[in-house]
């Protein structure tokens, strides 16, 4: 039996069934960065103070901070947890071997300045994934594709892939190196976190703050997806500038869990901690999922990209993709992100006298892309769901030859790009691919050929 079934969410969280599902819908609280309060047992939250001499129900108060104490109020994130035992009760940690989850630029290898693309990464059990009779769980399945920066310097990010078919029963993960933005591509996920439960399906994303302990299991046996491991400043909503006070990802569509403590899992738990690019494990008698109540604004979140209010050109020209930014991790250089999380959702194209797909370009920012489903208009064929591409700093790229031909000649009637969802992790820092990304068998060694049909059409008049 999967461990999540032993979790006891508050009664109201099992209220309704989502259409077409036999999975009881979880209850959430809405708002990005809101100050929430939630208790799985009534009366567990202290009133009017954070750490009374003796907390209600004899729980231990514990503070988890996501920003320096003195960070500006708008960026300040912290949550008070009221738990049966504090997180310090762990026992010793020992080195844990997970050679594929490498970190930072130092964990990568030199790559030529070619555009890179990967075929869909194998699901466990598929030939290229390697044979494993017992299967593999979320944490052991993680493989770094590309990475930059340095987790010790709290700068940069990694793009990871996961593909697993075993629950994390009796295990949990805590990442001190970075926040984890999980982008499911195939299969729904149940996330059990210290602060409660989240269900996410492809098309939705989950955001786990740095330092929050959690476990990931598949709804239906197996799942695959992408992760942005963000070593830098926490993701936040982008400024809207002249767009005004509404639009793009609206704050109320981000959902936080309600408190849920694992009443039955008092048994031992192995906690994997990632810190300084290395993984460590312990065996503790205390479940980390023992938070009975919490209040604060540092929380796991989920977001359904179907709620993204997409803005585009209603006159002419192809706008910069920054209009599709869902979340941004800024750096100290204004407007130059450690990472922008950008989506390419279903949308109408109506521009007149315009080449509508992305233009050919050389971008000083580095672009890692993935595809959740459907087709991406610049690469209708070779860029496939569950695969990826990398166009590093100033590497030329743009529509493949077939897409160029089609978009140069089509009638410019209003056109719906439908049944599609691509995304980009865009970073100011150049990415270095992992050795596995280059040699693991998924690299599309013929990628550059997609542009070889671009002829010299110049006609001197
Ligand atoms: O390269 C890509 O496909 C991503 C991208 C999309 C777009 O609409 C404009 C610029 C850009 O880099
Ligand atoms: Fe690009």
In DSSP notation, 120-174 reads: PPPPTTSGGG---TT--BHHHH-EEEEE-SBGGGTB-EEEEEEEE-B--TTEEEE
The answer to whether 6 touches 260, Cβ cutoff 8 Å, is: no
pLDDT digits (tens, 9 = 90+) for 272-311: 999 999 999 999 999 999 999 999 999 999 999 999 999 9
pLDDT digits (tens, 9 = 90+) for 15-24: 344 555 678 8
| d(C-alpha 400, C-alpha 379), whole Å | 6
Active site residue 318: yes
CATH code assigned to 3-305: 2.60.120.10
Whether the per-residue pLDDT at 12 is higher than 80: the answer is no
pLDDT for 266: 63
Average pLDDT of span 118-125? 95
Ion ligand 2 contact residues with beta carbon within 5 A:
367
pLDDT for 9: 39
Average pLDDT of span 423-443? 98
pLDDT for 4: 30
ipTM score: 0.99
- Identify the residue whose C-alpha is closest to ligand 1 atom 8: 358
Tell me whether strands 179-186 and 189-193 are parallel, antiparallel or unpaired.
Answer: unpaired
**Which residue ranges make up each domain of the chain?**
3-305, 308-444
The answer to whether 272 touches 215, Cβ cutoff 8 Å, is: no
Residue 457: Cβ-neighbour burial (10 angstroms; 0-12, 13-18, 19+): exposed
Q: Determine whether the annotation assigns residue 261 to a binding site.
A: no
Q: Rounded to the nearest whole angstrom, what is the distance from the C-alpha of residue 154 to the centroid of ligand 1?
A: 27
pLDDT digits (tens, 9 = 90+) for 232-266: 999 999 999 999 999 999 999 999 999 998 755 66
Look at the domain 308-444 and name its fold: Jelly Rolls (2.60.120)
Average confidence score pLDDT of the chain: 93
94, 119, 264, 318: the active-site residue: 318
Q: Rounded to the nearest whole angstrom, what is the distance from the C-alpha of residue 95 to the centroid of ligand 2?
A: 39
| Lowest-confidence segment of 129-143, 186-200, 377-391 by average pLDDT | 129-143
Whether the per-residue pLDDT at 5 is higher than 60: the answer is no
Average pLDDT of span 392-410? 97
pLDDT digits (tens, 9 = 90+) for 329-387: 999 999 999 999 999 999 999 999 999 999 999 999 999 999 999 999 999 999 999 99
CA 39 to chain centroid: 27
């Amino acid at each position: 039996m999967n461990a999540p079934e032993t979790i006891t969410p508050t009664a109201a969280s099992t209220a309704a069934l989502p259409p077409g599902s036999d999975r009881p819908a979880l209850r959430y609280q809405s708002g990005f960065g809101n100050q929430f309060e939630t208790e799985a047992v009534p009366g567990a939250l202290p009133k009017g103070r954070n750490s009374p001499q003796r907390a209600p129900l004899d729980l231990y108060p514990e503070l988890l901070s996501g920003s320096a104490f003195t960070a500006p109020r708008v960026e300040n994130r912290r949550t008070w947890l009221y738990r049966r035992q504090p997180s310090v009760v762990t026992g010793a940690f020992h080195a844990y071997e997970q050679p594929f989850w490498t970190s930072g630029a130092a964990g990568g290898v030199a790559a030529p300045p070619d555009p890179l693309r990967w075929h869909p990464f194998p699901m466990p059990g598929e030939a290229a994934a390697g044979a494993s009779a017992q299967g593999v769980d979320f944490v052991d399945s993680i493989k770094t594709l590309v990475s930059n920066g340095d987790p010790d310097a709290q700068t940069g990010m990694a793009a990871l892939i996961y593909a697993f078919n075993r629950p994390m029963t009796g295990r949990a993960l805590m990442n001190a190196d970075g926040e984890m933005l999980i982008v499911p591509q195939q299969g729904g996920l149940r996330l059990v976190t210290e602060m409660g439960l989240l269900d996410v399906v492809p098309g939705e994303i989950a955001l786990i703050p740095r330092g929050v302990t959690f476990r990931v299991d598949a709804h239906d046996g197996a799942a695959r997806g992408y992760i942005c491991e963000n070593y830098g400043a926490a993701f936040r909503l982008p400024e809207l500038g002249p767009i005004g006070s509404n639009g793009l990802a609206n704050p109320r569509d981000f959902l936080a869990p309600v408190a849920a403590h694992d009443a039955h899992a008092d048994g031992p738990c192995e906690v994997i901690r990632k810190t300084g690019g290395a993984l460590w494990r312990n065996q503790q008698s205390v479940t980390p999922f023992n938070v009975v109540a919490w209040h604060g604004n540092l929380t796991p979140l989920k977001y359904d990209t179907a709620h993204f209010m997409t803005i585009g050109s209603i006159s002419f020209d192809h706008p910069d993709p920054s209009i599709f930014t869902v979340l941004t991790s800024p750096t100290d250089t204004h407007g130059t992100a450690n990472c922008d999380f950008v989506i390419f959702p279903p949308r109408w194209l109506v521009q007149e006298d315009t080449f509508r797909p992305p233009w050919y370009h050389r971008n000083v920012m580095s672009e890692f892309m993935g595809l959740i489903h459907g087709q991406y208009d610049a690469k209708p064929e070779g860029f496939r769901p569950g695969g990826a591409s990398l166009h590093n700093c100033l590497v030329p790229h743009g529509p493949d030859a077939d897409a160029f031909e089609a978009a140069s000649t089509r009638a410019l009637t209003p056109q719906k790009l439908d049944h599609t969802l691509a995304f980009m992790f865009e970073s100011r820092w150049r990415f270095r691919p992992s050795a596995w990304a280059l040699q693991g068998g998924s690299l599309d060694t013929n990628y550059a050929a997609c542009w070889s049909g671009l002829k010299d059409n110049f006609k001197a008049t």
